[in-house]
């Protein structure tokens, strides 16, 4: 729900600013700035920092002539810039390092394995376009390999996009501001230091309104040009039908978490995270053979993925195979020394075998890692 609230507040901020721009009402500007400040304080979402970029894109590139004098008169940007800088200094500068650390320790992100920015940009923007137009496949982690021909097409898309933006700037078209606003809404995915997934459906909530606006403008211009009455109505009806079918299929995919991971497995059969999640589902059903197979496949795809190794050990523990359970739990802790859950399970195994001193040692280490633990020793 966090991204829904972020998009909601972002719309309020943007609407408030453009009411101020149209009417000159200082009250509307104060409302917009207050919403921006409160949303940052309450949600603590760095994604809200995209809002000033969206406002500037829509405001500066609205079809009117752009010159230095025009930019100098945009004093109203100052409030958004000051609030953004304060939020960055107080919150983001600390959270940035925390987020990068979390990506490494919790999500097993390896900078050496990450695609450089010049490769991520074509992938992210083309995938965002695909999701906006018609999300055919369900991909959660976007870890599926990209073939050379597909990557070439993605780069062609970027070239076409750059040429289109240049043409719109030359023509002083208001469409330029809308396109830039869509791109600005997913700026965190384009960070030089990766702090977000390549792309995700939830990242597109805010930009969706601008995509709808852009499509409406194109549709009405097309209708006016070819003089076909009710073209917009017919096209909209067709799209509603198509998207309704897709929504029904996607709703089935999301009906249960097991459905979700089975659907994503079809798209990305090389994702170790998906197999780990499937293992969790089979484990909940007490389908131990399938759970073992799923966790083992996850470890096969990424031998350093401590979560799956831990889950493999936990599954053997539930099956009563304590020898294998200890083997994998010790391995998971060795892979990720912050994984206190493995220490808890090891302590329980030692306690069940009467090794109270060893159990106490594991419990103590677990509490050191997570002081909030309440362990019945």
Is residue 210 within 8 Å of 94, Cβ to Cβ?
A: no
pLDDT in tens, 32-53: 999 999 999 998 888 899 999 9
Question: What 3-state DSSP class applies to 55?
Answer: helix
Round to whole Å and give the CA distance between 99 and 88. Answer: 14
Structure pTM?
A: 0.78
Tokens at 345, concatenated: 């399970």
Beta strands (DSSP E) in the chain are none
DSSP structure class, residue 198: S
Name the residue with tokens 């808890």: 344
Burial class (CB in 10 A: 0-12, 13-18, 19+), 309: buried
Nearest one of 241, 240, 250, 218 to 135, comparing CA atoms: 250
Q: For residue 306, which of 278, 270, 276 has the smallest C-alpha distance?
A: 276
Q: How far apart are alpha carbons 74 and 81 in whole angstroms?
A: 12
Contact 206, 93 (CB under 8 A): no
Q: What is the DSSP string of 127-160?
A: HHHHHHH---S--SS--S---HHHHHHHHHHHHH
Q: How many CB atoms lie within 10 A of CB 27?
A: 11
What's the token pair of residue 291?
Answer: 């759970």
Write out pLDDT tens, residues 154-198. 999 999 999 999 999 988 888 999 999 999 999 888 876 665 567
Rounded mean pLDDT of the chain?
86
CB count in 10 Å sphere of residue 375: 15
pLDDT of residue 377: 44
**What is the set of domains in the chain, with CATH numbers?**
1-109 (no CATH), 111-258 (no CATH), 271-369 (1.25.40.10)
| 268: nearest Cα among 187, 204, 198 | 198
Q: What is the structure's pLDDT at 136?
A: 77
Low-confidence ranges of the chain (pLDDT < 70): 1, 63, 65-73, 93-115, 138, 143-144, 192-197, 374-377
Distance CA 135, CA 142 (A): 13
How far apart CA 348 and CA 366 sit, in angstroms, is 12
Measured distance CA(273)–CA(306) in Å, rounded: 11
């Amino acid at each position: 729900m966090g991204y829904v609230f972020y998009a909601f507040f972002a719309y309020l901020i943007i609407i408030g600013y453009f009411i101020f721009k149209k009417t000159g009402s200082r009250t509307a500007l104060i409302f917009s700035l207050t919403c921006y400040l409160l949303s940052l304080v309450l949600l603590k979402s760095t994604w809200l920092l995209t809002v000033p970029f969206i406002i500037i894109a829509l405001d500066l590139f609205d079809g009117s002539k752009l010159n230095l004098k025009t930019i100098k008169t945009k004093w109203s940007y100052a409030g958004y810039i000051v609030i953004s800088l304060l939020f960055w200094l107080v919150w983001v500068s600390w959270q940035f390092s925390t987020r990068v650390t979390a990506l490494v320790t919790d999500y097993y992100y390896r900078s050496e394995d990450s695609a450089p920015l010049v490769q991520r940009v074509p992938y992210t923007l083309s995938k965002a376009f695909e999701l906006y137009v018609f999300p055919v496949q369900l991909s959660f982690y976007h870890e599926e390999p990209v073939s050379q021909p597909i990557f070439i097409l993605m780069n062609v898309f970027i070239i076409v996009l750059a040429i289109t933006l240049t043409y719109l700037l030359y023509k002083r078209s208001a469409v330029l501001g809308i396109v830039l606003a869509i791109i600005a809404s997913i700026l965190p995915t384009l960070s030089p230091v990766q702090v977000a997934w390549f792309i995700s459906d939830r990242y597109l909530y805010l930009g969706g309104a601008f995509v709808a606006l852009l499509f409406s403008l194109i549709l009405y211009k097309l209708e006016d040009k070819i003089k076909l009455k009710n073209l917009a109505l017919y096209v909209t009806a067709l799209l509603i039908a198509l998207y309704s079918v897709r929504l029904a299929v996607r709703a089935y995919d999301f009906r249960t978490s097991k459905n979700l991971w089975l659907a994503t497995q079809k798209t990305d059969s090389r994702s170790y995270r998906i197999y780990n999640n499937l293992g969790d589902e089979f484990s909940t059903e007490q389908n131990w053979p399938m759970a073992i197979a799923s966790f083992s496949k996850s470890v096969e795809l990424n031998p350093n993925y401590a979560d799956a190794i831990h889950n493999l050990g936990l599954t053997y523990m539930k099956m009563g195979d304590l020898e294998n359970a200890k083997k994998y739990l010790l391995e998971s802790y060795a892979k990720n020394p912050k994984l206190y859950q493995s220490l808890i399970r090891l302590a329980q195994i030692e306690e069940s075998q009467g090794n109270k001193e060893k159990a106490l040692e594991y419990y103590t280490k677990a509490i050191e890692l997570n002081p909030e633990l309440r362990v019945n020793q």
